[in-house]
Structure 1
C-alpha cells in the first residue's frame, strides 16, 4: 500500500513538465517587475492564417513608393522646416538664424 502514493506522486511529477511546456509561457521577474514572453503569448492568441495575413499587410504598408512618401520621410526639406531653421532671416539672407 505504501508504493501506490509514491508511484502516483512520481507519475504526477513526471507528467507536469509536459503540461507546462504545452500551454504556458515563461515569465521572467527582475527586481519585482514581471516581463511576460510576448512572442509566446502572440502565438497562443493568433492562428497561423491570421498571422500570415497580418504579415502580408504590414509588408505592403511599408512598401510605399518613393513618390508617394512625405518629403521629410525621404530626407527632403520642407518649406516649414526651412522657415524654422532660417528664422527671421528667411528670404533675406543665406545665413540661417539656427544651424
Structure 2
C-alpha cells in the first residue's frame, strides 16, 4: 500500500513539475556553425514583442510624428529661415537683392 501511494505521489509530483516547467518560457538558443553564431531571431523578436508598454510607446511615437503644422519648424514647412537665406545669398546677404553667383 505504501509503495502504491509513493508511486502515485511521485507521479503527481512529476506531472506537476512538468506542467510548471512547460509554462516557463524557454530561453533563446544560439547555434554556432562553422565559427559563426546564428541567433534565433524568431525567439528574440518574441521576447522583444512581449513588452506591455510597447503599445503605449508606439502610440507616443505616432503622436510625435503627427505634429501640427503650426508647431513644426519653418524648414519642414517650406518657409525661408535666416540660415537658408544666408546660404542662398552668399556674401551679398543683407547688402544686395541679387544673390551671389559664381562667374560664368
Calculate the TM-score normalised by the size of structure 2: 0.50
Query: For residues 92 and 43 of structure 1, do their structure 2 counterparts lie closer, same or farther at Cα, with a shift above 3 Å needed?
Result: same
Structure-to-structure mapping, 1:1-99, within 5 angstroms: 24=28, 41-97=44-100
Q: 1:55 to 1:92 in 2, by over 3 A?
A: same
Root-mean-square deviation (CA, aligned residues, Å) is: 3.7
C-alpha separation between the residues in 1 aligned to 2:96 and 2:38? Answer: 55
- Structure 1: state its 5+ residue gaps: 1-21
**What TM-score do you get using the length of structure 1 for normalisation?**
0.52
Whose radius of gyration is greater, 1 or 2? Answer: 2
